[in-house]
Amino acid sequence: MQEFFYEIKNPVGIHVRPAGLLVKEALKYDCSVQIQLSEKTADAKHILSLLSLGAKEGDQIRIRTQGKDEAYAAVELHRLMDRYL
């Protein structure tokens, strides 16, 4: 399992566009991708699950990848978040 934390920097948080990009990226990997905000956990391969988190600017999220491609997925998701979140 790989895990990292990320602080949302986008002024509008995780909205439709970055959520769609996260889902598209997560679907590339043979592993599970979970994003957690407080007590809520979302499957990063489903856009409605991500949007239901309601993550806003300044929120700290936890990203967990587990499976065959977990290390590569964690690196690429972090890179995408740096660019869009």
How far apart CA 82 and CA 6 sit, in angstroms, is 9
Quick check: is 15 catalytic?
yes
Domain that holds residue 53: 2-84
Chain segment 33-59, per-residue pLDDT in tens: 999 999 999 999 999 999 999 999 999
Residue 43: closest CA among 72, 76, 71, 66: 66
Q: How many domains does the chain have?
A: 1
Active-site position among 6, 10, 15, 66: 15
Write down the pTM of the prediction: 0.92
CATH code for the domain in which residue 21 is found: 3.30.1340.10
pLDDT tens by residue, 63-85: 999 999 999 999 999 999 999 99
